[in-house]
Amino acid sequence: MDQLTAPYTLEYIKINDIAIDQENYQRPVRPNWVKEIANGFDLFQLDPLVISLRNDGTPFAMNGQHRILALREMGYGEQVAPCLVYRNLTIELECKRFDTQGNQRRLTSQEQARAELRQGKPDMKIIAAVVETCGFQLNLHDSQRHHGQIAAVATMKRILRHYRGDLLTATLRTIADSYGTDIGPRDSIMMGVALFINRYQQYESFSKPRLI
């Protein structure tokens, strides 16, 4: 049987030895993203770094620069990390490898949320509980609007993370009281109601019955 031959080898390289080519193709470093990776670091999710071993023996990162910087920030610079190592690449081929790394299909909001809920992630557990408490069903299978189901996972995450959990509850309760629970509320309606409640609930003139 014919066997595919990978153009790389799996090797372990010290993190501090890996260089980053900002001049030719790497994106600008996002310090907030480095901090987010470091704060939520999970060794189980550490995929191999993609490395080009150049002719002078220096390993350059073609993928994973933010993970490398996060690992250094956490004090793991002298540790070795799993790497997929390419050899004999020109700068142009490195750029091509960097440019094509985004060709894999990203997870949809529903696919990611389904995995997060199965893992027991707190935000998704809260969202699922709020949706059920307010009389709706959570749709984690497609982005279509179905009667009585809410598919706007990204919008609910935004309300929960940037505002607070009770605002998400107030938003869905207001929508349920206004339109019933047989509809599949749009994300724009959900966000609009949340912003209105968040802005005006501090004033005595705000009346939920009037809004409904």
Half-sphere exposure in the Cβ direction for 37 (13 Å, CA): 21
Which residues partner with 50 through β-bridges?
63, 84
pTM of the model: 0.59
Best CA proximity match to 131, nearest among 108, 105, 151: 151
What integer best gives the mean pLDDT of the chain? Answer: 85
Cα angle for residues 11, 16, 22 (degrees, 5° grid): 95
pLDDT in tens, 108-153: 788 888 888 888 889 999 999 999 999 999 988 877 777 888 888 9
pLDDT in tens, 55-96: 999 999 998 889 999 999 999 999 999 999 999 999 998 888
| Mean pLDDT of all residues in 21-43 | 87
Q: Which residues contact 12 (CB under 8 A, 6 or more apart)?
A: 80, 81, 82, 83
